[in-house]
Chains A and B, each alone.
Chain A
């Protein structure tokens, strides 16, 4: 099953009631699969055709506000066009779930710059490794987003082409089991959590503290970590698949002197590289960073205490600033008394192929930094 079919299948299993999307490569086939499912009666939902992504986001926002379970998906330029209403969806604390099929901002091919351009929109962000994880993450996303303690939209991304069109085995959970695990969405009586002051809606000119909404929103995302961990565990118990602690997953990090950190489909290639490194006696482990927002700061502090160097492989760059995950990891470990080196690697940008050999070399360099000690500011384009 290709990645886009896995996502559409999860949308069906979640019994989504309103979906809206504008087709854009490489996301297009999700809209085709969903339209087929609605047309042949497999999915009892409204699929709303729109003239652009700005409208698709507004459609699901409105539908979610009146109590529907909703789904929207996009890629690259469509993601950028959708930016403005994404702020409102999250500000209104609506549990919309979105799939982003990554397409970079400099062309057709995949990198994470489309979704990384949305870091400030107040959505939770997941990056998935393979097609099974796309299906599983989509189901978990509803459980997390709709949880009373969270009430925030969630977007999960997977690499266009690399996963969207690659076919591989995907296990499909039983509909009855999904129904038991994920009951229908019940909207809250108020569209906002009680602690958010209604007089501050509509620009914060209602006389309350206008900063309060930012504070509550920020705290809500940060505090969502507990729910993410809980849902990941419960999904694993019910369906047999879970992904580390839900935020990160460690792979062969026992006694590792250094670790690499990867996101999205690159993680699979990195696993193969780690196996080769360890076969060759090089003690390098791997951390998969799945949940980017909220950022799992505490997990990286724990890892930072164990290893001499961390090599972050970013498939994105904030131009003039650096890799989004790299800067966050350095930020997280700053509070440690003894800090490991953190090295910055860029790979797979603009869809450039990343080979197992490439990651092997990144592993060698990171291990060298761990052995030599000291904080390195090395930057390398793989």
Chain B
């Protein structure tokens, strides 16, 4: 039996990824189980899902505490040491990251493979939803499920044009994922909070939720207060008749960018 843990954020499709993986494995003749960990769902909040794949029917219902493979859908989560917690010795970490695996600062007796799933998703789906894109990388790195079965599972889940766009994403990630290399980093990163904590507006710092960051061009700003008014997180303060973003409160929803009547707020991808 192999156990898999998937880290993502609400909206990135970690639960769908877990079900597609289980479904495709079943199509390959294996037994499987996909367990979502639902808390208080919210777009952007960190969450996990689990998959077991076995040759016989899976019976146990506990969570996967010592996974063989960890998949990380979010580029910023992939900078955290805790995504590797519980990962078995020699286990595989598949990260959504634009960095080569040698530059990933995660320590342990583990192997790391990276793929820029956000870039692939933006190119194929025009949205930073990385759940399907990472599955091609999984198939290449682990050896199964077969791409044929993943395609069938995707077509079943997303009939029509959306399915074909997602299939393009898995093929691109199959080609682009790096080979898995032994982790070379030695010192674990000290972290302030457990990444598996679900958010309900109580997290003091949501900056790691961002895929895009709003940046205000104050020279073009007319001081109309539209951004200040619409920000759902009260992350925009009003100082000297000008907006100022408190970035630790900004989750990167892009509402200010949308609402600005003079389009003076840029939205730049966070590179990790």
Cβ of B31 within 8 Å of any chain A Cβ, yes or no, is yes
Q: How far is the CB of A89 from chain B (nearest CB, A)?
A: 32
Cβ of B59 within 8 Å of any chain A Cβ, yes or no, is yes
Bound Cα distance from A165 to B18, whole angstroms: 12
Bound Cα distance from A162 to B57, whole angstroms: 16
Q: Which residues of B contact A161 (CB under 8 A)?
A: 38
Q: Which residues of B contact A269 (CB under 8 A)?
A: 59-62
Most central of B26, B31, B35, B62 by chain A CB within 10 Å: B62
Q: Which residues of A contact B63 (CB under 8 A)?
A: 353
Bound Cα distance from A356 to B61, whole angstroms: 9
Bound Cα distance from A269 to B23, whole angstroms: 22
Interface size range of chain A in the complex? 10 to 19
Bound Cα distance from A272 to B61, whole angstroms: 10
Q: How far is the CB of B65 from chain A (nearest CB, A)?
A: 8
Q: How far is the CB of B71 from chain A (nearest CB, A)?
A: 16
Q: Is the CB of B59 within 8 A of A168?
A: no
Q: Is the CB of B60 within 8 A of A268?
A: yes
Q: How far is the CB of B107 from chain A (nearest CB, A)?
A: 27
Q: Is the CB of A268 within 8 A of B32?
A: no
Count how many pairs of residues, one from A and one from B, have CB atoms less than 8 Å apart in the complex: 49
Cβ of A169 within 8 Å of any chain B Cβ, yes or no, is yes
Cβ of A83 within 8 Å of any chain B Cβ, yes or no, is no
Chain A contacts with B in 152-189, Cβ cutoff 8 A: 161-162, 165-169
Q: Which residues of B contact A169 (CB under 8 A)?
A: 26, 31-32, 57
Residue of B nearest to A169 (CB): B26
Cβ of A87 within 8 Å of any chain B Cβ, yes or no, is no
Q: How far is the CB of B57 from chain A (nearest CB, A)?
A: 8
With A161-B38, A165-B38, A169-B26 known as contacts, the answer to whether A271 contacts B59 (CB < 8 A) is: yes
Q: Which residues of A contact B254 (CB under 8 A)?
A: none
Bound Cα distance from A332 to B36, whole angstroms: 39
Which of A130, A166, A355 is the one whose CB lies under 8 Å from B35?
Answer: A166
Residue of B nearest to A159 (CB): B61
Q: Is the CB of A168 within 8 A of B34?
A: yes
Q: Is the CB of B34 within 8 A of A354?
A: no
Bound Cα distance from A354 to B65, whole angstroms: 12
Q: How far is the CB of B28 from chain A (nearest CB, A)?
A: 12
Number of contacting residues on B, CB 8 A?
20
Q: Which residues of A contact B62 (CB under 8 A)?
A: 269, 353-356
Bound Cα distance from A297 to B84, whole angstroms: 49
Q: Is the CB of B61 within 8 A of A268?
A: yes
Cβ of A376 within 8 Å of any chain B Cβ, yes or no, is no
Cβ of A265 within 8 Å of any chain B Cβ, yes or no, is yes
Cβ of B2 within 8 Å of any chain A Cβ, yes or no, is no
Cβ of B58 within 8 Å of any chain A Cβ, yes or no, is yes
Residue of B nearest to A271 (CB): B59
Chain B contacts with A in 46-77, Cβ cutoff 8 A: 57-63, 65
Q: Is the CB of A167 within 8 A of B33?
A: yes
Bound Cα distance from A266 to B59, whole angstroms: 9
Most central of B59, B61, B62 by chain A CB within 10 Å: B61
Q: How far is the CB of B51 from chain A (nearest CB, A)?
A: 9
Q: How far is the CB of A319 from chain B (nearest CB, A)?
A: 26
Bound Cα distance from A277 to B130, whole angstroms: 42
Q: How far is the CB of B196 from chain A (nearest CB, A)?
A: 13
Q: Which residues of B contact A265 (CB under 8 A)?
A: 61
Closest 10 CB pairs of A and B: A268-B59, A167-B34, A355-B62, A272-B60, A168-B33, A167-B19, A269-B60, A271-B59, A269-B61, A166-B35
- Chain A residues close to B by CB (< 8 Å): 130, 161-162, 165-169, 265-266, 268-269, 271-272, 353-356
Other CB < 8 Å A-B pairs besides A162-B61, A169-B32, A268-B59, 5 of them?
A166-B36, A168-B34, A168-B58, A268-B61, A269-B60
Pull 30 A–B residue pairs with CB atoms less than 8 Å apart, ordered by A: A130-B59, A165-B36, A165-B38, A166-B33, A166-B34, A166-B36, A166-B61, A167-B18, A167-B19, A167-B22, A167-B33, A167-B34, A168-B22, A168-B31, A168-B32, A168-B33, A168-B34, A169-B57, A266-B61, A268-B60, A268-B61, A269-B60, A269-B61, A272-B59, A272-B60, A353-B62, A354-B62, A355-B65, A356-B60, A356-B62
